[in-house]
Amino acid sequence: MSRIHNADLVRAFAIIAVIAIHIRPFNVDALPDHPYYRLVELGINQLCRFAVPFFFVVSGYFWGKKVRRSGAPITTTNGMVRPLLVLFPLCCVLYLVPFEFVSRGELSMHGVVKVMVDNMSTALHSPLTLLTQGTSEHLWFLVALSLTAYIAALFLRAGWIKPLLAVAVAFYGIGLLGKAYADTPLGLHWGFNTRNGPFFSTLPFVSGYVLSGQNRRREWLFHGFLCFMAGALLHSLEIALLHMHYGTKVHQDFVIGTYFMGLGIAVMALSDRKQLQIPILSACGKMSLGIYLIHCVFIELLRATDQALDTPLWEEEKVFLIFGLSAGCVRLLMALRAAIDGALRQDRRVQP
């Protein structure tokens, strides 16, 4: 299946949005003398929430295309999930390293090892959290995507399409009641972060699978835009009402409208329109998973710089700096892997 360049381009914008969520530019804690920055920070943070459901939708779309061609959902899922299950423990070890303190030069090698051991000990005290998000919060995406793909594969192998949709909706509802809607009369208080696991990933992933059975059309661009705008409006309205009536925090990962924001952007990205040519960003979009996994390292490495600078210019530029450093690191790792693979192939050819 040929690549959809629009999707790669939007992946790049989506991963920039994820970085913005994690960095929180114009955070009032960093800029206390500028009260209006709170609205700017909140607007950026919540508008960027389309990114994660978008990634789940496009993952479900391309997974669905492969499943429809092969007719073997479990085998297809094994091929998709296997590298994720390798990356997850590797990243868990990576994020035991206290990068912020290393960048400050405050720890010796012995101190680094001690902090890593302490971090691992702390993580082991919450085994469910460790299994579902690892040693860094953003790693939940790998586990959620893997669980969702297998859930979808099992239902599809049994031919249970409508039950799968019902379960996906139910999961999303449970996730909401345990997170954004937890303070409402119907809220759930389990002591478990329902962002983790398959709760918020299954519905967009299954939606992507449904889209994979449709022919891409030019009209998707307009339909997707309407879906995104309606989702953004609903998302904002939900946040406002929850905050006013129940005191819910305004920074939320998911509400109902968030799903439609991600779905709308995904439909736009998958539309059969003439590709917008930005080769550099499209190339970065192909590396979106690697950028996602590595970008928190650079956030920690630049933590001291971020705390020392409180200028609007820095707040504007730091997202793109992290994005550029992460993309460069991934490109370097890819080149290194290609060189090693080439050397191994050459070595096998010259062996008697």
Encode 139-184 in three state secondary structure: HHHHHHHHHHHHHHHHHHHCCCHHHHHHHHHHHHHHHHHHCCCCCC
Q: Average pLDDT of the chain?
A: 91
Q: Give the pLDDT confidence score for residue 103 in this predicted structure.
A: 75
d(CA 326, CA 294): 6
What is the torsional sign of CA 40, 243, 197, 234?
negative
Whether residue 234 is predicted with pLDDT greater than 70 in this model: the reply is: yes
How many contiguous H segments (helices) and E segments (strands) does the chain have? 16, 0
Helix ranges (H only) for 161-311 are 161-178, 202-212, 220-246, 256-270, 279-286, 288-301, 303-308
Chain segment 197-217, per-residue pLDDT in tens: 999 999 999 999 999 999 988
User: Phi-psi bin for 180: left (phi > 0), alpha (psi -120 to 50), beta?
Assistant: alpha
d(CA 55, CA 262): 8
Q: Give the pLDDT confidence score for residue 47 in this predicted structure.
A: 94
- Considering the chain, what percentage of its residues have pLDDT values greater than 70? 94
Q: Give the pLDDT confidence score for residue 269 in this predicted structure.
A: 94
The larger pLDDT score, comparing residue 339 to residue 62, is at 62
Domain residue spans of the chain: 5-350
Chain segment 319-334, per-residue pLDDT in tens: 999 999 999 999 999 9
Chain segment 56-103, per-residue pLDDT in tens: 999 999 999 999 999 999 999 999 999 999 999 999 999 999 988 877
Band of the pLDDT at 34, cuts 50, 70, 90? low
Residues 6+ apart with CB under 8 A from 212: 60, 61, 62, 63, 64, 65, 67, 68
Band of the pLDDT at 5, cuts 50, 70, 90? confident
Q: Give the pLDDT confidence score for residue 33 in this predicted structure.
A: 60
Whether residue 337 is predicted with pLDDT greater than 60 in this model: the reply is: yes
Whether residue 352 is predicted with pLDDT greater than 60 in this model: the reply is: no
Q: Which amino acid is at 65?
A: K
If you average pLDDT over residues 292-315, what whole number do you get?
88
If you average pLDDT over residues 244-253, what whole number do you get?
93
Whether residue 237 is predicted with pLDDT greater than 90 in this model: the reply is: yes
Tokens 């139910």 — which residue? 170
Chain segment 141-191, per-residue pLDDT in tens: 999 999 999 999 999 999 999 999 999 999 999 999 999 999 999 999 888
**Quick one: 173 exposed, middle or buried, by C-beta within 10 A (0-12, 13-18, 19+)?**
middle
If you average pLDDT over residues 226-231, what whole number do you get?
98
Q: Give the pLDDT confidence score for residue 338 in this predicted structure.
A: 84
CB 50 within 8 A of CB 228: yes
Q: Give the pLDDT confidence score for residue 278 in this predicted structure.
A: 82
If you average pLDDT over residues 128-133, what whole number do you get?
93
**24-33, 151-160, 189-198, 214-223: which range is least confident on average?**
24-33
If you average pLDDT over residues 40-45, what whole number do you get?
88
CB 148 within 8 A of CB 154: no
